[in-house]
Structure 1
Amino acid sequence: MKVAIVHDFLNQMGGAEHVLKIFREIYPEAPIYTTIYVPSAVCPSFKSADIRTSFMQKLPMIKKHARRYLPLYQYAIELFDLSEFDVVISSSSSFAKGVITPPHTCHICYCYTPMRFVWNYHTYIEQEPFSRFTKICLPYIIHRLRRWDEITANRVDYYIAISEEVRRRIRKYYRRDATIIHPPVDTSKFRVSTQDDGYFMILSRLLPYKRIDVAIQAFNSLKLPLKIVGTGRDLSRLQQMAGPTIEFLGRLSDEEMLECLQRCRALVFPGLEDFGLAPVEAMSCGKPVIAYAGGGALETVVDGETGLFFYDQTAEAIMATVSRFDPQRFDPYKIRQHAEQFDVSVFKEQISTYVREKFHIYRTSALLASDERYGVLARTGERMVYPDRVPRSRVSGDEYQAAGGMND
């Protein structure tokens, strides 16, 4: 079974890139296809990988201004020749799932989320400091991308969602079902700590949708120490609003990040995340998490046992929750035990089994099918049934045609 991995872009080190590292460990011989690659912006371990980039890699200023080339990514991803592979795994939150694979290739998408900026456009645009000219032009680009994203959803044979939240989005926007396999954390790298130096911590890329701004407002008012680990384009704005108890530590090494986690009182997680690795990493150290009650946090944090929830993304809601937070209520070893269900060993087994099974089903179906266009089974004369596709009767006629015509 010859495998290839397709990733959106390798110009930052976020949760998706950490998952990509594990995919490499599962399939060490698999090349990684991606639109652009900036070695200095990602983990050094990628330097030994077989990374194959698109024509966009040679565009001027692409490393600094990747977002300005937004209309080109869909074309770059479609130009990859994947005909030599039996299985293609797209690691996708935007463009990777749109790769074109030949009929003999099984395409499995590990989906972090459908394109956030096209399906949640109005919230996205409110949080980004775009110029007036950009805000005028962007809706036309986004409309075309939304249509492309909808149509290319049918290029995927099987979807894996990282959380129940993402599974709902896949069903809503793509009319497809998905199996949930949570992203991994290598819990063996984290040790339970009972040390408490009195500060709270945020571990995140500094992007507007992460809502770190409301956490800063809350801790400014509470006058409690908050250490923020991570970098991103929202850094300057956040620094301007931060008071004397807020400390920005930037990008830390794994060892430095671990030490910071082990000494904190609790992790603060204010964003609506697709899953969120940071809470699992904190819990692997036995640290409770104060999280917004939405998205992936609902599947990783247990309110009252491994942390506390707040129910509005406001400074006032965070302040109220932090004020009632008592670290003595939480057992670090029980928190750690809860985190171990997300360990990398569990992920590797689940992914390996899933890919083997789906590849076998795909190949067997192809051999049995006498007419792929209509899905006629040679032995029974019946149409093939794709259980992950929503019946036509449950979508409108326009949606049915846009998706390419799913099974009745």
Structure 2
Amino acid sequence: MRIALIHEWFTTIAGSEKVVEQILHLYPQADVFAVYADPETVKTTAFLQGHRIESSFISKLPRANKSYRSYLPLMPLAVEQFDLSAYDIVISSAHAVCKGVLTGPDQLHISYMHSPIRYAWDLQHQYLRESGLVNGLKAWLAKWLLHKIRIWDYRTAAGVDHFVANSRFIGRRIHKVYGRKSDVIYPPVDVAAFDFCEQKQDYYLTASRLVPYKRMDLIVQAFAQMPTKKLVVIGDGPDMPKLRALATPNVTLLGYQSFEALKHYMQQARAFVFAAEEDFGITPVEAQACGTPVIAYGTGGSRETVVDSPDPTKATGIWFAEQSVDSLVSAIERFESLPSPISPQVCRQHAERFSIERFRGEFSEYVNQRWVEFRESIG
């Protein structure tokens, strides 16, 4: 099988790139296409070595290395310029435009969806508010561009033979936006890199990029109301000054930390606190791999990665219902008053459901089955 893999951009190695890494492990012969590929990232990323990598004309535009996202209006055009006619199977790793690549009737297109374009669909209004694009000429231009992208995005869904969602939550978003069914294959989490630890210390942990939608401010404010409980915050970003202003003596802001330091704190925390609405959310799974329970905002991917159950053989954490200080405080109080503590062993066993090995097995079997069905359908 001649296989092409297309991804939006290679600039940092985050959750969606971890999916690409494992797909390329399964298909080392695959050629790689990207709307934008940062040369330094490509050069220093081990799993991209040995692959033919082709990027679009976006990479040649002025200041693309710093402002590639500003070329979003041109990206639908860019992704349609890739000539993939020589390939039997096209796999798109999509959270923006790359599922719109052009394929023919004798090619199988499987799109692994991290999400439909969030800022063009249900999160448009939040995106515009956070970007200061509510009123004025620039705001109306942005709204018009997003409107045009929605039309293009919906139309190009017809070119996908099979959608794979990274969670049931994203599966519902795919159905809402495109009117298409999808199959769920959870993304790979490197569970083996997080050592199990049964003994816990008396502090809570949260770790994330410090950006608005992660709601780290909510977590810090909640612990400001609970001065006897300790919170450790790991991460850096534009919200750091805001968190410093909110932090009370029981809150320790550590900023960016190495992987080993993060793992150490994660292993020994009483619980990991997570307040974002995520499509999947890898960090709560990593915490559970350490044997650490999770207190999470009970929506999005957290409802699939964290188990809030009265059954102690299943429970791995607590959900809170609203992104509010009162709701989080109540969840922490409920966590501390559980009749029996959440089992670290149960947390670890649950995390192993999301392992790299599980992803490889499920994804390769899925592609093989769809390929056999496709070949039979075209005779």
Give the TM-score normalised by the residue count of structure 1: 0.83
Residue 300 of structure 2 aligns to which amino acid in structure 1?
A: G
* Cα 1:297–1:70 shift into 2, 3 Å: same
Give the drift of 1:46.
4.4
| Rounded Cα–Cα distance in structure 2 between residues aligned with 1:15 and 1:243 | 32
Residue 188 of structure 1 aligns to which amino acid in structure 2?
A: A
Matched, 1:310 2:320: yes
Identity of counterpart residues, as a percentage? Answer: 38
Superposition map of 1:326-365 within 5 A: 326=336, 329-365=341-377
Counterpart of 2:30 in 1: which secondary structure?
coil
Show CA shifts across 1:297-355 (max 9, x none): 11111114101110001122112212332397111111111111111111111100110
Matched, 1:266 2:266: no
Counterpart of 2:285 in 1: which secondary structure?
helix
Structure 2 residues without counterparts, runs of 5 or longer: 310-314
* Cα 1:325–1:107 shift into 2, 3 Å: same
Residue 27 of structure 1 aligns to which amino acid in structure 2?
A: Y
2:113 — aligned with what? 111
Q: 1:89 aligns with which of 83, 88, 91?
A: 91
| Rounded Cα–Cα distance in structure 1 between residues aligned with 2:23 and 2:376 | 25
| Rounded Cα–Cα distance in structure 1 between residues aligned with 2:258 and 2:81 | 36
2:253 — aligned with what? 247
Residue 308 of structure 1 aligns to which amino acid in structure 2?
A: I
Matched, 1:123 2:126: yes
Give the drift of 1:285.
0.7
Say if 1:77 and 1:96, in contact at 8 Å, map to a contact too: yes
Structure 1 residues without counterparts, runs of 5 or longer: 368-408
Superposition map of 1:362-373 within 5 A: 362-367=374-379
Paired residues in the alignment total: 366
Say if 1:273 and 1:297, in contact at 8 Å, map to a contact too: yes
Counterpart of 2:102 in 1: which secondary structure?
coil
* Cα 1:293–1:351 shift into 2, 3 Å: same
Say if 2:308 and 2:317, in contact at 8 Å, map to a contact too: yes
| Rounded Cα–Cα distance in structure 2 between residues aligned with 1:231 and 1:77 | 33
Give the drift of 1:228.
3.3
Counterpart of 1:114 in 2: which secondary structure?
coil
1:392 — aligned with what? none
| Rounded Cα–Cα distance in structure 1 between residues aligned with 2:107 and 2:238 | 38
Give the drift of 1:132.
5.5
Q: Which moved more, 1:1-10 or 1:190-199?
A: 190-199
Show CA shifts across 1:349-380 (max 9, x none): 1100110111121122122xxxxxxxxxxxxx
Residue 298 of structure 2 aligns to which amino acid in structure 1?
A: A
Superposition map of 1:44-83 within 5 A: 44-46=45-47, 48=49, 50=51, 51-83=53-85
Superposition map of 1:5-404 within 5 A: 5-38=5-38, 44-46=45-47, 48=49, 50=51, 51-120=53-122, 121-130=124-133, 134-223=138-227, 224-235=229-240, 237-239=242-244, 241-244=246-249, 245-250=251-256, 252-304=257-309, 305-326=315-336, 329-367=341-379
Give the drift of 1:247.
0.8
* Cα 1:63–1:293 shift into 2, 3 Å: same
| Rounded Cα–Cα distance in structure 1 between residues aligned with 2:125 and 2:47 | 35
Give the drift of 1:136.
3.4
* Cα 1:334–1:108 shift into 2, 3 Å: same
| Rounded Cα–Cα distance in structure 2 between residues aligned with 1:128 and 1:240 | 22
Give the TM-score normalised by the residue count of structure 2: 0.89
